[in-house]
Amino acid sequence: MRDCLNHRAGFDRVLMTVAATFLTVSASSALAQDQARSSAAELAIEAAIPRPEPANVPPPTASDIKLDTTATLQDSTKEPVKAAAAPAPDQVETKPSDIATSPATEAPKSEPAKTEPAKADTATAPPVAPAAPAAAPAAEPVKAASNVPAADQPLADKLKDIIGAKTSRYFDRKNERAAIEKFYGARDFAPVWTQGGSLTAAAKGVVARLKDAASDGLNPADYAVPDFASATTPDALADAELKLTASMFDYARQAQSGRMHWSQVSGDILYPEHPVDPNEVLAKVTTATDASTALDSYNPPHKLYKELKAKLAELRGQGNGPVIEIADGPALKYTAAGKKQAEIVVEDPRVPQLRAKLGLAENANDTRYDAAVADAVRKFQSGAEMKATGILDDKTVKALNTPKRDKQIDVVLVNMERWRWLPRDLGAPALGDAYVILNIPDYTLKVMQRGQQVWTTRVVTGKPGTHATPLLTETMKYITVNPTWNVPPSIVYNEYLPALQQDPTVLQRMGLKLEQNRDGSVHISQPPGEANALGRIRFNFPNKFLVYQHDTPDKNLFAREDRAFSHGCMRVQNPDQYASVLLNIVMPNEKYTPERVRSMYGKSEIDLKFPTPVPVNITYQTAFVDDAGKLQFRKDVYGRDATMINILKNNRGKDLEAVVAHSQPSYSRPATTLPSGVAVANNGGGFGSSGPNFFERLFGGGAPTPPPAPVGRRPQQRVFTR
């Protein structure tokens, strides 16, 4: 009996230990349920582990469960409280089976046959196993995005090698190399121009455009097309792939910005830069439905450029227009009516052909050699660098019948090149794409809006040489009525001060005011008024060349055919009309008229500010297509054509796209000693060296504090208005 009790006590101790162990496991499991699971695999494993219930704790072995099931049930209700005060592990007698049934400890290596629950755990583990490979699909998108067909893999490997180390052999520009690395790297270096060794549709489109570069005034020799047919190895195909890409870059870049940078031609040209982005070129051309059209889109979109392109084809013999020959005959001259004579208009059967040749669509069958025909002949003579008489003589007939086509083609080519320098959008979108465009060789100014001519007038431009009118794009921000003429330093020091040495009173007689500043420099100005050199209105588009458009008291020069007489600024024939046209574009509700503008004439400056600036484009078009569709040529008054033709023909292999640094215009006013007898308006009380510079005097800037007015003289009033 005693032995039985001893056995029973030992069994109870074992049972209590197991219960405490599983109670701890149960509590840990309950705590784990309240914590966030870190993965699906952990949830699956946890679900597969048997959880012993506190009210039904399994015995260590199957035989024990059968012997004392009731005792276990009775004690289980009391043991949880005791479990908290259970003896330390080193005081508890354990068995291998106890350890094996605890999921919180590592299974022992001995007696594996007796650990049935552990076997059950192991058996349930396989369903959880797939959770480990679950991380593998996350890498699949990268693989799919860079998937290269097996046939192209050797070529892709070769491209990877070249792009990784030798791109400078194909691409001189850093941004192009970076674009290549990014583009091909994103496609795991799969080729874009071939597939399985055959040209893709995109490649065929690019090749077609490069071979047709001459139609856009470019040289096809500059855009080499590799021979893909003879490229049969990965090395050869990789070389052809990158060479075609390089030629595509060259075409897009030069089609958009020109074969030569404008600074290569002259220091008095300043247009905004609009370089191409090689990343955008790659994306646009390689994904386009028609790669040829996509690449062609980098050429200028302007109507006048496209018209020149069509005329270039005709000059090269690719046009369908009929060849018109003017027969020999007597000289034809038109005489306008004068004070003592009537108008003289002669008739000749050749005149209808002459009208067609010169593009005069109105009265096409009229045989009279009238003012319109004589004016067209005069313009032709000027463009052909002949004396512009307006008389149809033998020399003019010969020039009409046998034009210097090669020279005309060259002139058209450089004019197309200059169009590439201009902004793609000439106008202001907020104003219906309104803009001003002035053509120096034609001496005309036009106001455009919504693609149509709104108004035009004659202009006088700068004299050839140092006074040439610069080519630029700026924005007109305001109009000044009754402007003060602040004489440019170049005129002050090169013309007026030397004149003072000869005649100390010359400036007074001209109505000019001389001020000598504290630093010894000289400033000369002319107050507002009818005799002011700028007339009654100045049109301001601030620029580094300090040029502007303005009225003039000398109207006689507008009647001349050649009108290059100014110091660089542009004189406008009808400034009051010009002002009203511009003001009605920027402020349509104000209803400005020329009469309203003239009503502001007086002795005080009035600034009419534009809410939205109007772009002003100063161009040099010696070849253009007129409204009648006729190709017109004008005299190369500044020699720009000759310079550009020479550069294009004699500088093959040079980087003509590089920017050439030019000396900047200087507006310094050095101290000077005035001859005796010169009237000085402020007698030394003017601006010091820290006063406003000439640019600030001319266009404003920073609203400098005006100098104190001379004693007895009121400061000049300046009115600002919208």
pLDDT (tens digit, 9 = 90+) per residue, 379-415?
888 877 788 999 999 999 988 887 667 889 999 999 9
Q: Hey, how many other C-beta atoms are within 10 angstroms of the C-beta on 94?
A: 14
Find out whether 210 and 251 touch, Cβ atoms under 8 Å: yes
Tell me which residue of 407, 409, 396 sits closest to 326, measured CA to CA: 396
Q: What's the mean per-residue pLDDT of the chain?
A: 80
DSSP code, position 456: E
Distant-in-sequence, close-in-space partners of 4: CB < 8 Å, separation ≥ 6: none
pLDDT level of residue 698 (50, 70, 90 thresholds): low
Tell me which residue of 524, 569, 525, 527 sits closest to 551, measured CA to CA: 569
- pLDDT, one tens digit per residue, over 293-324 is 999 999 999 999 999 999 999 888 655 556 68
Q: Hey, how many other C-beta atoms are within 10 angstroms of the C-beta on 683?
A: 11
Find out whether 460 and 558 touch, Cβ atoms under 8 Å: yes
The pLDDT score that the predictor gives to residue 292 is 97
Find out whether 366 and 334 touch, Cβ atoms under 8 Å: no
The pLDDT score that the predictor gives to residue 249 is 98
DSSP code, position 493: I
The neighbouring-strand residues paired with 195 are: 198
Entry pTM:
0.67
Lowest average pLDDT, out of 64-73, 213-222, 308-317, 694-703, goes to 64-73
The pLDDT score that the predictor gives to residue 99 is 37
**For the chain, how many residues are written?**
722
How far is 306 from 284, CA to CA, in rounded Å?
22
What are the C-alpha distances in Å from 548 to residues 466, 502, 603, 615?
A: 16, 30, 20, 13
Q: Is 184 exposed, middle or buried (0-12, 13-18, 19+ CB in 10 A)?
A: buried
The pLDDT score that the predictor gives to residue 322 is 62
Phi-psi region of 704 (alpha: psi -120 to 50; beta: other; left: phi over 0): beta
The pLDDT score that the predictor gives to residue 391 is 95
String of b and e for 606-640 (b: at least 16 CB within 10 Å)?
bbbebeebbbbbbbbbbbbbeeeebbbbbbbbbeb
Instruction: Tell me what percent of the residues of the chain surpass a pLDDT of 90.
Output: 57
H/E stretch holding 617 reads strand 605-619
- pLDDT, one tens digit per residue, over 444-488 is 999 999 999 999 999 999 999 999 999 999 999 999 999 999 998
Q: Which two tokens stand for residue 605?
A: 């400056």
Tell me which residue of 361, 282, 382 sits closest to 635, measured CA to CA: 382
Tokens 């902004």 found at: 423
How far is 557 from 563, CA to CA, in rounded Å?
7
Q: Is the predicted pLDDT of residue 611 greater than 90, yes or no? A: yes
Query: Mean pLDDT over residues 653-659, rounded?
Result: 86
Distant-in-sequence, close-in-space partners of 703: CB < 8 Å, separation ≥ 6: none
How far is 641 from 460, CA to CA, in rounded Å?
20
Q: Which two tokens stand for residue 7?
A: 């056995």
How far is 316 from 410, CA to CA, in rounded Å?
11
Query: Mean pLDDT over residues 522-527, rounded?
Result: 92
The pLDDT score that the predictor gives to residue 681 is 79
Query: Mean pLDDT over residues 529-536, rounded?
Result: 94
Tell me which residue of 622, 635, 634, 630 sits closest to 357, measured CA to CA: 630
How far is 255 from 295, CA to CA, in rounded Å?
9
Phi-psi region of 469 (alpha: psi -120 to 50; beta: other; left: phi over 0): beta
The pLDDT score that the predictor gives to residue 73 is 38
DSSP code, position 714: P
DSSP code, position 432: T
- Which segments of 384-522 does DSSP mark as H helices, in order? 394-401, 405-421, 489-491, 497-502, 506-509
Tell me which residue of 291, 192, 171, 290 sits closest to 238, measured CA to CA: 192
How far is 176 from 686, CA to CA, in rounded Å?
55
The pLDDT score that the predictor gives to residue 379 is 86
Three-class SS state of 154: helix
Find out whether 286 and 202 touch, Cβ atoms under 8 Å: yes
DSSP code, position 429: G
Alpha carbon 501 to chain centroid, angstroms: 52
Q: Is the predicted pLDDT of residue 262 greater than 90, yes or no? A: yes
Q: Which two tokens stand for residue 375?
A: 């004016």
pLDDT level of residue 271 (50, 70, 90 thresholds): very high
Q: Is the predicted pLDDT of residue 361 greater than 90, yes or no? A: no
Three-class SS state of 677: coil
As a whole number of Å, the end-to-end CA separation of the chain is 121
Q: Which two tokens stand for residue 323?
A: 């060849």
Distant-in-sequence, close-in-space partners of 657: CB < 8 Å, separation ≥ 6: 253, 254, 257, 258, 259, 260, 261
Q: Which two tokens stand for residue 503?
A: 């005649």
